[in-house]
Amino acid sequence: MKKIIIKKENSGQRIDKFLSSYAKASADKKPEVFLNMEITRGEIIRMIKNGKIKVNNKNIKPSYVLKEGDKISAERKAKSEKLIPKDNIKIKIIYQDKNIIVIDKPDGLKIHPNNFEEKNTLVNFLISKFPEIENINDGSTGSDLRPGIVHRLDKDTSGVMIIARKQESFNELKNLFKNRKVEKKYLAVVRGKLKNKKGVIEKPIARAENYKKQVIAGGKTKTKTRSAVTEYEVIKEYDSCSLLEIRPKTGRTHQIRIHLFSLGHPVIGDEIYKLKSKIQPFSSSGLKLNAKRQLLHAQEIKFELFRKKYYFQSKIPDDFTNFLRNLD
């Protein structure tokens, strides 16, 4: 078992940051190998969480602050881990060229794995069909688990999604999303009837203290606050629901869901952002309506990449259509 004894000059650092720097320095100084020289900070964090890296023979968190004399030990030298390709996931490819891949994401599918052992995600499918994307990322923590991914849809949200096929297009697409130059349109079925049939929700978002969901940021919010803007328009009203067209201007995690929930009109089927009342919506015939997933669908996306204009649509899924049909 390899060990590092922390000297005074290295005390006060988080262990994950220290080991990330140590691994990079190893490439030049070539000391006795403690960790794989090419290991990422994300991989180091996973090793710590899995108990493969300890301090003074005790499990610690990635945020542990090192003290002089601490002994860091690793059970084994970190190996180069690879994503597992999986080609038997049913996903429709709408379009592909040398720069991008466009898919029609089904609901119930995670975008990327949380560890290298996981294999039933969109990314596992993508690397089986397009192995060239495996090393396309921005170098941030955990980015090796989401190659080519420039934006995300929640697991239970369906619809059109863009993936970068080259590093150059990845960088450009990230900039387009950051600068709000990608136009997106969603459809959502929400509870109740909105007072304002058209409007803009402009409420900053922050993570809840337990990190399990997002909240509308307030004066007591302790986590990082991000601006968030969502345009909406009521397309059709039913007895107890409304069909909305949504155009998010920013791309925060759970943005549409938390914004609609903040108005008192959560997305039907949303198990995280939902009203305390357990009363289900009813159709005009009195039939109780249930949704097996949140009724949120990414219908359209439009952007310009390398002077070429792109526009893609995703057909409304059957479960979405059937729910609306039962409302009539």
Q: Which two tokens stand for residue 12?
A: 């006060």
pLDDT (0 to 100) of residue 45: 82
Q: Which of the listed residues 179, 204, 228 is the one where a domain comes to its end?
A: 179
Same structural domain for residues 61 and 11? yes
Say whether both 8 and 133 belong to one domain: no
Q: Are residues 170 and 187 in the same domain?
A: no
At 216, which helix (H) or strand (E)? strand 214-216
Query: For the purposes of burial, counting CB atoms within 10 Å of the CB of 246, is it exposed (0-12), middle (13-18) or buried (19 or more)?
Result: buried
- The count of structural domains within the chain is 3
In whole angstroms, give the CA distance from residue 36 to residue 53. 13
pLDDT in tens, 106-116: 999 999 998 78
285 - beta bridge partners? none
Q: Are residues 321 and 248 in the same domain?
A: yes
- Give residue 49's domain range: 2-74
| Residue whose tokens read 């691994």 | 23
Q: Which residue is it, tokens 């499918």?
A: 125
Same domain, 203 and 326: yes
Tell whether 38 and 95 lie within a shared domain: no
Active site residue 154: yes
Q: How far apart are CA 14 and CA 70, in angstroms?
A: 12
Helix residue ranges per DSSP H, the chain: 15-29, 41-49, 122-129, 167-178, 255-262, 318-327
Q: Which of 107, 154, 156, 270 is catalytic?
A: 154
**Of 144, 179, 214, which residue is a domain's last?**
179
Mean pLDDT of 190-207: 92
End-of-domain residue from the set 134, 151, 179: 179
Q: What is the pLDDT of residues 29-66, one digit of tens each?
A: 444 456 654 566 777 887 888 788 999 999 999 889 99
- Give the predicted TM-score (pTM) of the model: 0.74
Q: Are 307 and 201 within one domain?
A: yes
Same domain, 291 and 193: yes
- Domain with residue 25: its CATH number is 3.10.290.10
In terms of Cα–Cα distance, which of 279, 285, 323 is closest to 187?
323
Higher pLDDT among residues 75 and 321, named by residue: 321
- Read off the CATH number of the domain in which 213 is found: 3.30.2350.10
